[in-house]
Amino acid sequence: MLDLQALRNDLDGVAARLVTRGYPLDTTRFGQLESARKTIQTRTQELQAKRNATSKQIGMGKAKGEDVSAIMAEVVGLGDELKELEAQLEHIQQDLQAFLSVIPNIPHISVPVGKSEADNVEMRSVGSPPEFDFEVKDHVSLGEDVGGLDFDTAAKISGARFSLLKGPLARLHRALAQFMLDTHTEQHGYTEVYVPYLVNADSMRGTGQLPKFEEDLFRLKQAPAGSSNTVGRLDFPDGLDGLKEAIDKRSFEDVVHWFDDWYSAQGGFYLIPTAEVPVTNMVRDSITPLEKLPLKFVAHTPCFRSEAGSYGRDTRGMIRQHQFDKVELVQIVHPEQSYDALEQLLAHAETILQKLALPYRVMKLCTGDMGFSAAMTYDIEVWLPAQNAYREISSCSNFEAFQARRMQARFRNEQGRPELLHTVNGSGLAVGRTLVALLENYQQADGSIAVPEVLRPYMGKLEYIRAS
């Protein structure tokens, strides 16, 4: 979430920066909300001062034995008006928070301005694409030929955009995750964490998935055991007044929001789209001691995405799935160190590809291609011979204080005062896409797949995967 003071102090400047992201900031709406807030706050302060003065007048009158009933009636009237103003102010503050919650982060000044991935800038390429003296197969054909990749059974069990791995390929998938975890914990100083795969709405809001990207998420319709809501019916033991107010005073949209808020209060769950959500939310609503920074975490989790808006894209194979595994790197850092942390985290992710001897390139994303919460993003793209193209395998971003402000994640600075943290994360790496890259780059003329040397200790010293 953006700093409200930045909007108040430089609305036109912030709007201009956001235009480079393709986001037209509604400055008129913001001005209306701010004007209403100021008016109510000014009137509230005037009434509070008047009530305080009148209360003193009542005390003095009583001390002199005077009749103060008329003045007391005036104080009651002031109290009623104050109560109404406070309710109005709360509603405006809620509208202001809703307004802020869908505004993307301001891009760092060094981010190239552009509209799409065509405007991204290549920073470097590492390794050369392999040359083959035989017809190159894609990962689907290779996996099916060795009997380790089964999309038909996955479709029967679940549907489209799922895969089933068997035998050595399933082991290779597991080996990749363990190799990544070992590298990041033993060589890069990350602490491994095992986190929940189901999170609440507050966690999704904290890292920026809600409210803007709900259609990309898998939400459980059933509340957890112990809540007052049960399958097939809704119980409202103490919330009917709020629902009645929404119906009486507001719009249908407000009623829907009321139900969403009530459902979230009951403990509704979302499947995580990335480990970034539970890991980063570890510091939500907390103050981290300065001496504990930086915090560096790594987690291996499945990830679940609806892939809304991707109809027709990457329908073949494992590139775009509803369920996939990822090893995620997260750093929670001092604001002055976040861009150094981003470069460090990027290098850590690159190390995995270098150890696997997979060709790749690093792209700096332009303003129009960055994710909602990011201030700067690097994508690592691995070479896929069957596509004759580089494809994303990791996205490493600095969010500055954008997520921390939503989460109220703070630290005590050098003066002992609470200050917002900066958050940095990236894939280290996406396991399924790494498997895809290995199959295609390590394919042999006889249809077998060579196992990279660094993975052989995890594979029982197996050197080649062949059809059994």
Catalytic residue list? 305, 320, 392, 395, 433
274 is in an annotated binding site: yes
Instruction: Evaluate whether 193 touches 279 at the Cβ level (below 8 Å).
Output: yes
CA distance 420 to 404: 6
Task: Identify whether the C-beta of residue 163 lies closer than 8 Å to the C-beta of residue 151.
Answer: yes
Q: Which residues pair with 323 in a beta bridge?
A: 304
CA distance 257 to 268: 14
> Of 273, 275, 242, which Cα lies nearest the Cα of 259?
242
Using alpha carbons, list the distances in angstroms from residue 21 to 15, 37, 107, 309, 365: 10, 28, 8, 19, 11
393 is known to lie in a ligand binding site: yes
Is 351 among the annotated ligand-binding positions?
A: no
- Tell me the helices (H) and strands (E) count for the chain, helix number first: 14, 18
Going from the C-alpha of 25 to that of each of 12, 13, 28, 66, 106, the distances in angstroms are 9, 11, 9, 58, 11
Determine whether the annotation assigns residue 86 to a binding site: no
Q: Is 110 assigned a ligand-binding role in the annotation?
A: no
DSSP readout, 82-137? HHHHHHHHHHHHHHHHHHHHTPPPPPPTTSPP-SSGGG-EEEEEES-----SS---
Measured between alpha carbons, how far is 212 from 406 in angstroms, rounded to an integer?
A: 14
Residue 427 annotated as lining a ligand binding site = yes
* Helix residue ranges per DSSP H, 187-293: 201-207, 240-249, 252-265, 276-280
- Alpha-carbon dihedral 282, 287, 288, 291, rounded to 10 degrees: 180
DSSP summary character for residue 233: B
Instruction: Tell me the one-letter amino acid at 163.
Output: S
Q: CA nearest 95: which of 35, 30, 38?
A: 30
In the three-class reduction of DSSP (H, G, I as helix; E, B as strand; rest coil), residue 339 is classed as helix
Which residues, 6 or more positions from 25, have their beta carbon under 8 angstroms from its beta carbon? 11, 14, 15, 18, 19, 103
Q: Which residues are annotated as a binding site for L-serine?
A: 274-276, 328, 427
Binding-site residue ranges for ATP: 305-307, 392-395
